[in-house]
Amino acid sequence: MVARPRSPHGALIPQFYAGRNIFITGATGFMGKVLIERLLSTCPDIGTLHLLMRQKKGVSVEKRLQQLKQSQAFDVLRQKNPTQLDKLNIIPGDVAQPNLGILPEYLTKLHEVSIVFHSAATLKFDEALPKAVEQNVLSVIRLMDICDYLPNIEAVLHVSTAYSNPEQLTVEEKIYTPTTPLPRLLALVEAVPSPLLKDITPQYIHPKPNTYTYTKAMAEEAIRSRTSRQYPIAIFRPTIVVSSLRHPFPGWVENLNGPSGVAAAAGKGLLHVFRRDPTKRADLLPVDIAIDTLLAIAWETAVDKPTHVMVYNCSTCENPTKWVEFEDALQKYLPKYPLDAALWYPSGTGVENKYVHKTLEFTLQTIPLHLAEYMLKILGVKMGWDNHYKDFVKGTRKYLLKESDENIPVATRHINRLYYVHKGVMLFSIILFLRLLLQNKFIKEFVYGTLRLLLSLLDDGYSSIMSFE
């Protein structure tokens, strides 16, 4: 066990995290950024935070780390204690790869890790089953494989969802036995062709409504069935995570998932009706409350060392508001704090009946958008594709190939020279091709015969014209 300094800060949790090294997956996500911010801000004596990162869209992991450090989530931290961000360390890898894609030299850096937070996942409800299994289920198994060999591991925290068991009327803090054994699921994904698997997915995952909730439940089963582990592990189930209550500052949000997407679409005047039950509680959980709870659970798990998997359902039970009050708040504050370039006055309203919802959606959204499209066509207001293609080429030159606009005159003279070379080569190739053809006796006779016939036809036509005159 590594000797750790005792934190001068009196609170139990800062003392616990003092000197401890952390491993985090999903660090660049919404919750991941707040997790980093809360660890660095509330636990100033914490050790290194190892972040699993992959190259994404051609951006290197080093560049992504720099982008992460510039996130608005760390604005307060950069002002008060900027050197804390130096504690972030990259572990190149990918949760969708065997062994999380981590090379041996980086695995050795994890030997001093005490706490692991696993929050990486695909959040798409309609994700294809193979990809959802890869990222949400196999990633957990691969992570536990790695943790089995970390000598100083004290606790592993897996971030699940409160909706992993939506078919249950009451969700208790326990892992529910799945209808399909985990080995059968993994074998199915491996063996069945993707088109066929896509067709049978809805029936196979029933009664789960989508692949997201299904694979999150199967990930919990993967944890429960891991009997060989030597470290305590806990499952954290947050409800609908929304903008922050206080930290890093009030209202901070960085995605359009769930309620924030509704607010953005209604504020822009695109969304006029949505479906909801006005009597149901708006089970919204501020992201900083979720993360502070997660940090406390990690502390409790490491200290108590439970022998069985602990499950924590996390919601703001003290929140008395209903969805109708969320709707009222949108109608109250969107006009007060309007969004830029809104297409219509914010008038989003909620309904409960699905048939009424479909009718209003067609009337208030589908028809107006089609009318707007037709009006633009009538008025001749449409996208200038030629200009777009021009900008596309210029953008490829400037932003993709990093070529300066100052070099365009030189490049133009060079391309003009190449134009004449190109035409000359084309002419030479045509002459050479014809000469090679004429060397063949049959082709030569055919070409000459065709020419004689054409000349004969032209001569007959000329004679006819002269006779007519």
pLDDT in tens, 286-298: 999 999 999 999 9
Q: pLDDT value at position 107? A: 94
**Distance set, CA 379 to CA 54, 356, 369, 370, 384 (Å):** 47, 34, 15, 14, 14
pLDDT in tens, 113-144: 999 999 999 988 999 999 999 999 999 999 99
**Domain topology for 12-239+283-320:** Rossmann fold (3.40.50)
- Whether residue 443 has pLDDT greater than 80: no
- Whether residue 462 has pLDDT greater than 50: no
pLDDT in tens, 58-99: 889 999 999 999 999 999 999 999 999 999 999 999 999 999
3 pLDDT band, cuts 50/70/90, is very low
The amino acid at residue 55 is: Q
pLDDT in tens, 185-234: 999 999 999 999 999 999 999 999 999 999 999 999 999 999 778 899 99
CB neighbour class for 53 (10 Å; exposed up to 12, middle 13-18, buried from 19) = buried
Domain boundaries, the chain: 12-239+283-320, 394-454
Say whether pTM exceeds 0.85.
no
What lies within 8 Å, CB to CB, of 56 at 6+ separation is: 64
For residue 114, what is the enclosing H or E element? strand 113-118
Q: pLDDT value at position 381? A: 64
pLDDT in tens, 181-190: 999 999 999 9
- Whether residue 465 has pLDDT greater than 50: no
Dist. CA 258–CA 177, nearest whole Å: 28
- The lowest-confidence range among 32-41, 95-104, 373-382 is 373-382
Dist. CA 238–CA 208, nearest whole Å: 18
- Whether residue 463 has pLDDT greater than 60: no
pLDDT in tens, 358-377: 998 998 888 888 888 788 77
